[in-house]
């Protein structure tokens, strides 16, 4: 029985190294070694609102969640955020929020990674923190 020859070209080696880099980069992201994301807390958001500051507020929760309680932001559910990236300002501060801050963090990570946004801020603690610390009349769910 003959052993087949294995021929590897320079291009194949280069491609393999690129895939290996991407694999390890994704692992770094999973274990949270990616660069720290910009955040604001609910008191900073309230101050921005009260001052009439020009910023965009994006809510990445689902429509039924928005109907329960909202801060008046533009609803773009997380599952559609990439398709609606053109609706997000690149010219002013953009605060992204969800219920607790995790989905908005995911949205920001993907928007920064795919489109290079540099003006996105995660609302630390999400709408739950806003309800707990700023407006207790805002329903919790």
**Mean pLDDT computed over 115-141:** 97
Strand order of the sheet with strand 56-59? Answer: 39-40, 120-123, 94-97, 56-59, 74-75
Classified by CATH at the fold level, domain 39-133 comes out as Oxidized Rhodanese; domain 1 (3.40.250)
pLDDT bracket for residue 16 (50, 70, 90)? very low
Q: Which residue has the tokens 């990236």?
A: 85
pTM (2 d.p.) = 0.76
What are the boundaries of each domain within the chain?
A: 39-133
Which positions are annotated as active-site residues? 98
> Which pLDDT tens digit goes with each residue over 59-108?
999 999 999 999 999 999 999 999 999 999 999 999 999 999 999 999 99
């Amino acid at each position: 029985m003959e052993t087949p020859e294995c021929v590897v070209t320079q291009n194949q080696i280069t491609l393999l190294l690129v895939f290996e880099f991407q694999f390890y980069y994704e692992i770094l992201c999973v274990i949270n070694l990616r660069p720290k994301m910009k955040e604001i807390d609910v008191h900073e958001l309230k101050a921005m609102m009260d001052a009439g500051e020009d910023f965009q507020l994006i809510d990445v929760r689902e429509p039924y969640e928005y109907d329960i309680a909202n801060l008046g932001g533009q609803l773009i559910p997380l599952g559609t955020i990439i398709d609606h990236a053109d609706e997000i300002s690149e010219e002013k501060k953009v605060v992204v929020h969800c219920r607790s801050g995790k989905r908005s963090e995911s949205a920001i990570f993907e928007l920064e990674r795919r489109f290079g946004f540099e003006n996105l801020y995660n609302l630390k603690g999400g709408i739950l923190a806003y309800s707990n610390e700023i407006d207790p009349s805002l329903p919790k769910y």
